[in-house]
């Protein structure tokens, strides 16, 4: 009888890759192995994992909460801020090491674009746990043979790989790495603040980069940030990817997975079967988040900040509603968030 493995899934809560990962986890368990999800308790994602019949990882004792929040440093006390960051990094590493040890993983699928990719990848490498990246998009690594996945640049065809096309792709990559999204969607100073934070995050990961390299793991720039160069699974079809990327033996494709999900039935009788249905989800569009305040003061804060914090989401929702209000022959489902 073949050995049964315990396989972890470390995903980012905000990403829709949970649905695709459920399909992969179903195949894992159909092969006689055990799938376990690293997910925060008492969240909609924890409930989704339970609904699909999978287990969630238990937090190790003595590590709650695992992120230390020291007293807030003054605006210009850079040394204090760096010291606090070092404390957080060390505590998070200790937490991840204890989490992996307490769950005895034989293999781990790690979200390719999670905010703490480097700490998690390093903890897995130090624990000797084989790791594969899960990519919810066709994001790749810096190269002149293809543009970044978010570029509007059309493919010139596999045979047109001359210097002009290569130079254009490199320029697109440099823009994607240096900037963040569409600058015109932000205020000038807000966009500058976002860029500074992005590059400070990259500087913070330098120490993890050195440690990963000492463990024999290389890395490369991707559309989101630097990431370890380890085998990955893309949630999409191979035919939709760039040919040179699809030929990489370390880049595998899983395709569509909705057929594996165990969601409850939707109330389809309320839908007109004679009209097409469109589903619109804002996903993680910037500004589509919930203010952290709670209670009566939180209600006031939420009302006062909603026009600012949700302005991009509001613009997007209004545009979609305006479009479909003129299309009487269509039916629209839209996730509006808070």
Residue-level pLDDT at 150: 79
- The span from the CA of 317 to the CA of 6, in Å, is 42
Divide the 338 residues of the chain into consecutive groups of 10 and give the mean pLDDT of each group: 86 76 91 91 81 84 55 58 68 80 90 83 90 91 86 60 81 84 72 83 81 88 88 91 90 77 70 86 55 46 52 80 89 78
Residue labelled with tokens 């039916």: 331
User: In whole angstroms, how far apart are CA 117 and each of 76, 86, 112, 140, 159?
Assistant: 28, 17, 7, 15, 35
- The span from the CA of 142 to the CA of 173, in Å, is 7
SS (H, E, C) the chain: CCCCCEEEEECCCCCCHHHHHHHHHHHHHHCCCEEEEECCCCCHHHHHHHHCCCEECCCCCCCCCCCCCCCCCCCCCHHHHHHHHHHHHHHHHHHHHHHHHHHCCCEEEEECCCCCHHHHHHHHHHHCCCEEEEECCCCCCCCCCCCCCCCCCCCCCCCCCCHHHHHHHHHHHHHHHHCCCCHHHCCHHHHHHHHHHHHHHHHHCHHHHHHHHHCCCCEEECCCCEEECCCEEECCCHHHCCHHHHCCCCEEECCCCHHHCCCCCCCHHHCCCCCCEEEEECCCCCCCCCCCCCHHHHHHHHHHHHHHHCHHHHHHHHHHHHHHHCCCCCEEEEECCC
- The span from the CA of 47 to the CA of 262, in Å, is 13
Residue-level pLDDT at 103: 86
List CB contacts of 3: < 8 A, sequence separation 6 or more. none
Residue-level pLDDT at 301: 45
Residue-level pLDDT at 300: 46
Residue-level pLDDT at 32: 93
Task: Identify which of 78, 71, 134 has the alpha carbon closest to the alpha carbon of residue 107.
Answer: 134
Paired tokens of 155: 């493919």
Residue-level pLDDT at 333: 85
């Amino acid at each position: 009888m073949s050995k049964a493995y315990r396989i972890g899934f470390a995903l980012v809560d905000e990403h829709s890759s949970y649905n695709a990962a459920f399909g992969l986890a179903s195949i894992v368990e159909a092969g006689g192995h055990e799938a376990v999800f690293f997910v925060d308790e008492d969240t909609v994602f924890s409930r989704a994992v339970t609904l699909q019949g999978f287990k969630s990882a238990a937090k190790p004792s003595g590590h709650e909460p695992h992120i230390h929040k020291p007293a807030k440093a003054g605006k210009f006390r850079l040394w204090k801020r760096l010291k606090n960051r070092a404390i957080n990094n060390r505590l998070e590493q200790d937490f991840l090491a204890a989490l992996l040890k307490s769950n005895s993983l034989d293999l781990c699928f790690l979200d390719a674009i999670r905010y703490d990719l480097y700490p998690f990848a390093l903890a897995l490498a130090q624990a000797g746990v084989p790791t594969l990246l899960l990519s919810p998009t066709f994001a790749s690594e810096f190269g002149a043979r293809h543009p970044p996945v978010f570029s509007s640049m059309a493919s010139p065809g596999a045979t047109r790989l001359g210097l002009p096309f290569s130079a254009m792709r490199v320029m697109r990559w440099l823009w994607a790495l240096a900037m963040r999204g569409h600058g015109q969607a932000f205020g000038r100073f807000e966009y500058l603040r976002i860029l500074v934070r992005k590059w400070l995050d990259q500087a913070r990961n330098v120490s993890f980069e050195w440690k990963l390299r000492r463990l024999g793991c290389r890395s490369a720039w991707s559309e989101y940030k630097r990431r370890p160069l380890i085998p990955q699974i893309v949630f999409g079809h191979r035919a939709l990817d760039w040919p040179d990327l699809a030929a990489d033996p370390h880049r595998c494709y899983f395709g569509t997975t909705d057929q594996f999900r165990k969601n409850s039935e939707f109330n389809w009788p309320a839908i007109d079967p004679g009209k097409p249905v469109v589903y619109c989800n804002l996903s993680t569009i910037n500004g589509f988040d919930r203010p952290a305040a709670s209670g009566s003061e939180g209600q006031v804060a939420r009302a006062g900040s909603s026009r600012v914090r949700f302005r991009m989401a509001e613009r997007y929702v209004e545009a979609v509603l305006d479009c479909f209000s003129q299309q009487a022959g269509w039916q629209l489902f839209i996730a509006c968030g808070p």
